[in-house]
Amino acid sequence: MTLQLAPPRKVPGRRTAPSRRMARFDLKGVPYLLVSPYYLLFAVFGVFPLGYTLWVSLHDWELAGDTKFTGLANYGELITDESFWNAVVNTLGMFVVATVPQIVLALLLANALNKRLRGRLLLRLGVLLPLVTSVVAVAVVFSQLYSRDYGLFNWILSWFGVDPITWQNEKWSSWIAISTMIDWRWTGYNAIILLAAMQTIPRDLYEAAAIDGATARTQFWRITVPMLRPTIVFVVFISTIGGLTLFAEPVMFEGNPMMTGGTTGQYQTVAMFIVKSAFRDFEMGYAAAAAWLLFVLILLGTMINYWFTRRIGGAK
């Protein structure tokens, strides 16, 4: 007579070793697996181009031909290049002229759109229309508006006895013309971001302030602006990056592919200088060095603006 042993009974709630490993992987490994595509794409299209551009900047690297390692020679030559510093001044000048009014107007526009208005939805959609307009179309329209002989702005200035201005010939006039193009396109975009942040502010704060006798202006500066500080910092960040990498508007304003930014480089930006060095002069190493200096300039500009906006948001 043979005895058959019954199979071991499974204790409810008790896991085997493989199931415990899978549970641990599901808890600790799956989150990294889910976010890994972003980091892989960032490594391929972000980190690798930065590293390769740095490597190219250390060489005398032409678009076609031999390469020669030169160390920091490109950076030394670039620092003493008057054309590069002219492009830096133009970029910073147009950045200030365009960005400061843009953020102020966006803040005021967002505050107006946050009120109880008729057709509020249509107004909010309307401020985004310039964003979906082609840059080429915007440049063509504004080039006509700033035309010397038949432009609308010169016609308006003629009412006050001002002679026709050739807007492309001087630094200050070309900066103003290009800055208005930028502001027309991006003010509504920033206003919508600020409006979305305004709608998260509790209404109880405004009601309490109104009971205490605070005016609408006081509520705006004492409640709205401090509560919007993180969003204002974000808007300043993206505006800084966009302003310091300015390219499409001045190129379209120039109207030709030479990338010179006018006859004397009066509105050539650093991005235009980089493209000209790489694809007009075929000096890839020199252009790569300029790109890295632009990267450093963006970092410095972002840190300065972050410090400045934090002080404004925390002011009492």
Task: Give pLDDT, residue 316.
Answer: 43
CATH topology of domain 75-310: MetI-like fold (1.10.3720)
Task: Give pLDDT, residue 312.
Answer: 60
* pLDDT tens-digit profile, the chain (316 residues): 555 555 555 555 555 666 777 777 667 777 788 888 888 998 888 889 889 999 999 988 877 667 888 888 999 999 999 999 999 999 999 999 999 899 999 999 998 888 877 777 788 888 888 888 888 888 888 888 888 888 888 888 888 888 888 888 888 889 999 999 899 989 989 999 999 999 888 888 888 888 888 888 888 888 888 888 889 888 988 988 989 999 988 888 877 778 888 888 899 999 999 999 988 888 889 999 999 999 999 999 888 887 877 776 554 4
Contacts of 173 by beta carbon, 8 Å cutoff, 6+ apart: 165, 166, 167
Task: Give pLDDT, residue 14.
Answer: 56
| Residue 193 neighbours by CB distance under 10 Å | 18
Which residues on neighbouring strands pair with residue 17, listed in sequence order? none
Task: Give pLDDT, residue 46.
Answer: 85
Task: Give pLDDT, residue 315.
Answer: 47
Pairing of strands 59-61, 67-69: antiparallel
Contacts of 289 by beta carbon, 8 Å cutoff, 6+ apart: 57, 74, 75, 78
Kindly write down the DSSP assignment for every residue of the chain, as one continuous string: -PPPPPPPPPPTTPPPHHHHHHHHHHHHTHHHHHHHHHHHHHIIIIIHHHHHHHHHHTEEEBSSS-EEE-TTHHHHHHHT-HHHHHHHHHHHHHHHHHHHHHHHHHHHHHHHHTS--TTHHHHHHHTTGGGGS-HHHHHHHHHHHT-TTT-HHHHHHHTTTPPPP-TTSSHHHHHHHHHHHHHHHHHHHHHHHHHHHHTTS-HHHHHHHHHTT--HHHHIIIIIHHHTHHHHHHHHHHHHHHHHT--HHHHHHHTSTT--SSTT-TT--HHHHHHHHHHTS-BHHHHHHHHHHHHHHHHHHHHHHHHHHHHHHT--
Dist. CA 281–CA 257, nearest whole Å:
13
Give, in order, the Cα–Cα distances in Å from 147 to each of 234, 248, 263, 264: 36, 19, 17, 19
Dist. CA 12–CA 140, nearest whole Å:
74
Residue 176 near residue 97 (C-beta atoms within 8 A): yes
Give, in order, the Cα–Cα distances in Å from 265 to each of 90, 148, 168, 236: 9, 19, 10, 27
Dist. CA 171–CA 268, nearest whole Å:
10
Query: Nearest Cα to 70, choosing from 50, 85, 56?
Result: 56
- Could you state, in order of their start, the residue ranges of all structural domains in the chain? 2-57, 75-310
What's the longest Cα–Cα distance across the chain? 123
